[in-house]
Amino acid sequence: MSAMASLLFHLLCCLTVFWLLPLPSHSADPDPLQDFCVANLSASISVNGFPCKPASEVTSDDFFFDGFTQEGNTTNAFASFLTPGNVLSFPGLNTLGISMNRVDFARGGINPPHSHPRASEVGVVIEGKLLVGFVTTNNVYYSKVLTAGHMFAIPRGLVHFQLNVGDGKALAYTAFNSHLPGAAIVPLNLFASSIPNEVLTKTFQVDADLINTIKSKFGS
């Protein structure tokens, strides 16, 4: 190999590594640049996150959260209740790139099809029996019935659900690689928003009466 060809080869390798190195930082929230940045949720300015509370105002309580100690009220259409442990309820998570949810299910309850645009998800079943499934962008469906102690993983952005298929209540905890993973809940996005009926009738190939009936279930 000539000297020039060798130089070009090494330059190409260096450029490739230089290009690849930043990629992990885009897989979740940006890495923090200080020990902590407790969110100032009342700040008027927010740039892709929350500004830090002054360190002099930070207390021990900012790093502890008791929101998962109580069972959620599952008396609703989905017979489930999600308690979020994200930056909005637990400001100490700001910039840490982590959060959790507690999900309670009554018998037959469902955490309806939804996706998290900003995070992958892992979860563990604590009580009961859950059917957990997700669908890929190629419409391939993966699922399994899980019981206490079983874990599951949901790739970022994919539509997924959990359905209580047991004889009693169920409980699961989920964790995310974002302090605010977001949730796009499919039935609510479609039937509890202002999407025109014309769009929905053409999409689902049904008449407007059926769309209106479904919308009525979600208060639209």
Per residue in 173-203, pLDDT (tens digit) is: 999 999 999 999 999 999 999 999 999 999 9
Q: What are phi and psi of 8, to 5 degrees?
A: -65, -40
Residue 175: name the closest of 114, 102, 118 by CA.
Answer: 102
Residue 197 assigned to a binding site: no
Which residues are within 8 A (CB) of 99 and not within 5 positions of it... i.e. 6 or more apart?
84, 85, 86, 87, 90, 93, 119, 175, 176, 178, 179, 180, 181
Per residue in 38-77, pLDDT (tens digit) is: 999 988 777 777 999 999 999 999 999 999 999 999 999 9
**Domains with residue ranges and CATH for the chain:** 55-182 (2.60.120.10), 183-219 (no CATH)
Residue 160 assigned to a binding site: yes
The DSSP 8-state label assigned to residue 70 in this structure reads S
Residue 10 assigned to a binding site: no
Distance CA(142)–CA(216), nearest Å, equals 31
Indicate the length of the chain as a whole number. 220
Per residue in 54-64, pLDDT (tens digit) is: 999 999 999 99
Residue 26 assigned to a binding site: no
Q: Which pair of tokens denotes residue 150? A: 């079983």
CB atoms within 10 A of CB 57: 10
Threshold 0.85, pTM exceeds:
no
